[in-house]
């Protein structure tokens, strides 16, 4: 199916474990983004990527790692999960730099216990 898909939709993990959230888009959009949504904060940018092998930090990058070896995939890894990383994570893509807005995935609800 065309679009942007995130997996898993729900994830529970333990403190200290590594977890990877997947994001896949079928449009060959150059730009991809990861946001986290927390009550009282709206959505905050974690990392973004302008193309394969080009990534950069957003507002709240600490504790996260990203990679982009292929245009269509942009996985987000929590190297050692903490409870403060309990959140809803949204991946997004854009065909231009983002000036025309993003298309968001359905989100991954991550709980760290």
Interacting residues toward another protein by CB under 8 A: 31, 33, 35, 40-45, 48, 50, 56, 58, 88, 90, 94, 97-104, 106-107, 109
- CA nearest to 46, candidates 25, 23, 27: 23
- Is the Cβ of residue 64 or residue 102 nearer to another protein in the bound state? 102
Q: Which two tokens stand for residue 68?
A: 């982009």
Q: Identify whether the C-beta of residue 32 lies closer than 8 Å to the C-beta of residue 100.
A: no
> Of the two residues 80 and 106, which places its CB atom closer to another protein in the complex?
106
Residue 113, classed as helix, strand or coil, is coil
Distance between CA atoms of residues 41 and 54, nearest Å: 27
Q: How far is the CB of 26 from another protein (least distance, A)?
A: 17
Shortest CB 80 distance to another protein, Å: 26
The nearest distance, CB 16 to another protein, in angstroms, is: 27
Tokens of 84: 């403060």
């Amino acid at each position: 199916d065309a679009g942007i898909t995130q997996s898993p939709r729900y994830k529970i993990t333990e403190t200290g474990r590594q977890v990877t959230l997947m994001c896949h888009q079928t449009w060959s959009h150059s730009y991809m983004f990861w946001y986290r949504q927390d009550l009282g904060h709206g959505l905050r940018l974690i990392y973004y990527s302008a193309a394969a092998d080009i990534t950069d930090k957003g507002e709240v990058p600490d504790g996260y790692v990203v990679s982009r070896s292929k245009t269509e995939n942009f996985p987000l890894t929590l190297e050692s999960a903490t409870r403060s990383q309990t959140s809803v994570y949204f991946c997004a893509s854009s065909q231009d730099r983002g000036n025309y807005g993003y298309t968001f995935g359905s989100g991954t609800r991550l709980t760290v216990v």
